[in-house]
Copies of this chain bind each other. A is one copy, B any other.
Amino acid sequence: GSAPAIVHAQTALRWRLASSFPKSLDTIYGTAEVFAKKVGELSGGKFQISVHAAGELMPAFGVVDGVQQATVEMAHTAPYYFFGKDDTFALGCSIPFGLNSRQMTAWMYEGNGLKLMRAFYAKYDMISFPGGNSGAQMGGWYRKQVKSLEDIKGLKMRISGFAGKVLERMGGVPQSLPGGEIYQALEKGTIDAAEWIGPYDDLKLGFNKVAGFYAYPGWWEGGPQFDFFINHKAYEGLSAEYKAIVEAASAYAHIDMQAKYDQRNPIALKTLVAGGTKVVPFPKDVMDAAFKHSMDIYSELNAKNPEWKKIYEDLAAFRKDQNLWFRFTEATFDRYMQSVQL
C-alpha cells in the first residue's frame, strides 16, 4: 500500500468512532464520549471524533470489520466479542480466571500485554489502546439459587461468548442474547439465568424484578478491558502530536471507566439488596469445575493456536506472579477493611 499522508499537528481532522454499545449503557458507551471530548480539548478543537452507538453505522459486532476496512477510523469495543475470528481476541479483554482490573492494566502498560496484543491486532490492520475496565463483574442472575454443580446441569444461561464454552463443559446451555432481550427471556423462563455486568448496569435493566439470586464472583470476567481500535493507516497518518493525544485521551478514559463503576456499583448494590435481591456466592464445586474446564480449554488452545499460545503463556506467567504478590499486603489490607465496622 501507499505510505499514508501525514496529518500535520495543526490540521483539522474529523474521525468517526463506532461503539459496540448502546447509549443506554452510559458507563461503557460514555467512555468513548469521554475519550472524544479529551481529544477535542487536547487539540484545541481541531481533532474531532464523533461517537456512534451500536447499530448506527454498523452492528455492534461489525466494528472490527469496520475498522479493518476503514469504514470508520476507529471503534470502542470489548475485544472478546471477536473470539469467533480468533480466540486470541479474548486475551486482550478477559478470559475466565484471568487477571483482575489492576493486574490487566499492569500487564498492558508495564508487562508485555499491549505489545503482544498489538502485534496480534496488526493482522486486522488495527492498533489498540486500553479504553476502560469494569472491574470484576458479577456472576449473573438466577431464578433458582445455584447450590452445587448439579444445578448447572441443563441450566439455560445467557452468557457472553468465550465463557459459554466453559459453561457448556459444566453441563450448562449457553445462550446468546443481546442486552435488550434478556429481561423478557428471564421473565418468561425461556432462560434460567443471565449475566450482564454488575449492579449499576444490571439494576437499570431491571433483572432483579425477574430473578431473585445474584451470584458472585463473575469468574469469567475478573477484570475485562475495553479497547479503542484504530485503523492502522488512519493512525499512521497522524502527526506525532495527534498520536500522543490519542494515547493520553485513552489513558484518561481508561481510568475514568473503572472509577465510574467503582463509584456507582456500591450504590446500586445497596438498592438491590434493599429490594430483596439475595447476593450469593457460587459454591466451591462450581468454582473448581469452572477453573478446571477453563484450564483444559487453554491447554487445548495452546496446542492448536500458536498465536494464542504465545500470548496466553505470557499472561499466565504474569498472572502467577501477580497473585503471589496480591495475596500478601493488598488482600490482607482489603480483607481487614471489609471486616471492621466503618
Contact = CB atoms under 8 A, between A and B. Distances in A.
Interface stretch (A120-128, A153-161, A171-179, A244-252): A244-252
A41 B240 contact: yes
Interface in A285-342: 287, 291, 316, 319-338, 340, 342
Contact of A269 (B254, B255, B328): B328
B248 A255 contact: no
Q: From DSSP, what is the main secondary structure of chain A's interface residues?
A: helix
A13 interface: no
A319 B342 contact: yes
A137 interface: yes
Contacts of A267: 321
Contact of A333 (B108, B136, B263): B136
Interface string A21-52: 00000000000000000100111100000000
A266 B322 contact: yes
A259 B320 contact: no
A277 to B, nearest CB: 12
B342 A331 contact: no
Contacts of A251: 248, 251-252, 255
Most chain-B Cβ atoms within 10 A of its Cβ — which of A217, A270, A321, A334?
A334
A285 to B, nearest CB: 13
Interface residues of A, number: 81
A259 B222 contact: no
Nearest to A269: B325
Interface stretch (A63-71, A99-107, A144-152, A225-233): A99-107
A218 B331 CA distance: 11
B102 A244 contact: no
A218 B329 CA distance: 7
B337 A222 contact: yes
Given A217-B329, A241-B42, A255 B105 contact: yes
Nearest to A290: B336
A256 interface: yes
Contacts of A9: 44
A241 B41 contact: yes
A170 to B, nearest CB: 16
B333 A38 contact: no
Nearest to A43: B241
A165 interface: no
A119 interface: no
Contacts of A331: 331, 334-335, 338
Given A100-B337, A139-B329, A252 B259 contact: no
A338 B218 CA distance: 16
A41 B239 CA distance: 10
Given A42-B248, A106-B262, 14 more contacts: A41-B241, A106-B258, A108-B259, A109-B256, A110-B263, A138-B328, A138-B329, A216-B332, A248-B248, A269-B325, A279-B328, A316-B342, A323-B337, A334-B334
Closest 7 CB pairs of A and B: A106-B262, A109-B259, A41-B244, A266-B325, A110-B263, A248-B248, A266-B321
